[in-house]
Structure 1
Amino acid sequence: MTVTSQRSALTDTVRSAVVALLAVAQIVVSGVGGIGGVGDSVGDVARDYPTPLLAAGWAFAIWGPIYLGFLAYAVYQLLPAQRRRAVHRETGWWLAASAVLNMGWILSFGARWLPLAEVMLVGLLAVLAVVFGRLSRTPASGVVERIVLRGTVALYTGWVSLATVLGTAATGVWAGLPGDGALATVAGVVVLVATAAIVGWVLISGTAVVGYAAAVVWGLAGIALNDRPGAVAAAAVLAIVVALAATARRVSTAGNPKRAAWG
């Protein structure tokens, strides 16, 4: 083995180990931060800065499948046969960064540093968007990769796309903007309409769109069913219809429907 290949193998091993450690660490931080073990619980802080876009508590249960999927991916990329694959080299460090940013926003939000938490959340979305885009360049090598890597990234990206919107609204309330009333309702409707347009574009042009759409629809349903103003609930339902229609169109018109749907 040449020196170059030895260095490459060492880098692959280090990257895989870092991803695995961070996958476990973010579950621990989420559990501790979620119940207020460090600072206040995420739910308590969110309820203290209510907006028309606040989703029902049950909607946040989606973090469970996301964390389990990420953990499964971490184990998968740690296998000797996987470490040197190009797909992991192109996405592994980015996903490691996503775990750091995720822990950062949880701790910042629990400490009520909402602007910092929002910066972390936007950074998390940007990192996931890079991974989501890179995975769209090539098809999955099999069912396992399609589920634990592409499915997890799609679900994660879809949820964080919506969570960023919710976080921005809460940060606005923290900064002094109204969280209720006619003005807040109008702003919520405008944001949801814009979200529907952006989500529709992503779904029409992306791959693994089923996972992405599932997360977005789940979050929008959480908004619509959380006793929101009628106009906001209607806008959330409209966004759901747009997401479902865009997903159906993408899969039905794709040259490779399986790849369009699942990656």
Structure 2
Amino acid sequence: MTVTSQRPALVDLVRTIVVVLLAVLQIVVSALAGTGGVGEPIGVVARDYATPLLAAGWAFAIWAPIYAGFLAYAVYQALPGQRGRQIHREIGWWLAVSAVLNAGWVLSFGAGWLPLAELMILALLVALAVVFGRLTRQPAESVLERVVLRGTVALYTGWVSFATALGTAATGVWVGLPGTGALAAIAAVVVLLAVAVIASWVVLSGTAVVGYAFAAVWAAAGIALNDPPAGVVVAGAIAIVVVIAATTRRLTTAGNPMRAAWG
């Protein structure tokens, strides 16, 4: 066997190991940050820079299935029969980058460096959007892949789509913009409805939309039920209805409803 023919296999092996290590790393960083072992807990910092877009504490429980799904995918893509698949070659390094960005976001937000955290989460959204987009090009090969890859990426992307808006609002308070009052409430309504429209467009044009839509609805509910101004509650309710309506339309008009729903 020549060096040239060995190289793809070696690159695949390195990629799979990196993804596994980073999947574990982001869980460790999140656990340390959540207990105050590294910086302040995320929730504490978020409340220090509260805005009408602050989600209720229970909403952040969605990170548990996201991290679990990411770890499950890391193990799945490391299996001997999976390492050389083209789909993993197209998205593996992007997911590795997403893990680094996630850990960086957690650390910078916990340290109170909100502008840096904002850059991290924006880059994270871009990385996930690339992966989500590439997964729409080809169907899953098994139910397992639908669950640990398509489902995880869809859920993750949907949540980060809204989390980016929440982070942007908190960063605004950090730089001196008002976090309360009529102006903050109006801005929150506009942002929430804009994110809902974008989420609906993604649902109408993508695959694995159930996971994405669930995360979007979960985030909107977390905001609306966190005792914000009345306008934000109404906007949150509208966002939920719009995303659910778009999801229903996508699933009933898709040529392959199973693929549209689960990837």
Where does the alignment leave 5 or more consecutive residues of structure 2 unmatched?
A: none
Query: For 1:240 and 1:5, how far apart are their aligned partners in 2?
Result: 51
1:82 is displaced (CA, Å) by 0.3
1:3 is displaced (CA, Å) by 2.5
* 1:244 equivalent in alignment to 2:244: yes
Q: Deviations over 1:129-181 (max 9, x none)?
A: 00000000000001000000010000000000000000000000011100011
Identity of aligned residues (%): 73
Aligned to 2:167: 167
Q: Is the 8 A contact 1:51 1:170 kept in 2?
A: yes
* 1:58 equivalent in alignment to 2:52: no
Aligned to 1:208: 208
Aligned to 2:133: 133
Q: Is the 8 A contact 1:35 1:42 kept in 2?
A: no
Q: Secondary structure at the match of 1:83?
A: coil
Query: For 1:201 and 1:216, how far apart are their aligned partners in 2?
Result: 12
Runs of 4+ in structure 1 over 3 Å off: none
Query: For 1:195 and 1:101, how far apart are their aligned partners in 2?
Result: 21
**Structure 2 counterpart of 1:37, one-letter code:** G
Query: For 2:158 and 2:34, how far apart are their aligned partners in 1?
Result: 21
Q: Deviations over 1:97-139 (max 9, x none)?
A: 0000000000000110000000000000000000000000000
* 1:111 equivalent in alignment to 2:88: no
Q: Is the 8 A contact 1:59 1:218 kept in 2?
A: yes
Query: For 1:52 and 1:231, how far apart are their aligned partners in 2?
Result: 10
Query: For 2:31 and 2:38, how far apart are their aligned partners in 1?
Result: 10
Aligned to 1:99: 99
Aligned to 1:14: 14
Q: Secondary structure at the match of 2:186?
A: helix
**Structure 2 counterpart of 1:141, one-letter code:** E
1:38 is displaced (CA, Å) by 1.1
Q: Secondary structure at the match of 2:178?
A: coil
Query: For 2:195 and 2:87, how far apart are their aligned partners in 1?
Result: 30
1:258 is displaced (CA, Å) by 0.3
Q: Secondary structure at the match of 1:176?
A: coil
Q: Deviations over 1:22-78 (max 9, x none)?
A: 000000000001221111111100000010000000000000000000000000001
Q: Is the 8 A contact 1:51 1:169 kept in 2?
A: yes
Aligned to 1:255: 255
Query: For 1:120 and 1:35, how far apart are their aligned partners in 2?
Result: 21
Aligned to 2:70: 70
Please, what TM-score do these two structures have when normalized by structure 2? Answer: 0.99
Q: Deviations over 1:222-253 (max 9, x none)?
A: 01111111110100110010100000111110
* 1:181 equivalent in alignment to 2:181: yes
Where does the alignment leave 5 or more consecutive residues of structure 1 unmatched?
A: none
**Structure 1 counterpart of 2:223, one-letter code:** I
Query: For 1:25 and 1:111, how far apart are their aligned partners in 2?
Result: 18
Aligned to 1:46: 46
Count of equivalent residues: 263
**Structure 1 counterpart of 2:219, one-letter code:** G
1:2 is displaced (CA, Å) by 3.5
Please, what TM-score do these two structures have when normalized by structure 1? Answer: 0.99
Query: For 2:5 and 2:68, how far apart are their aligned partners in 1?
Result: 33
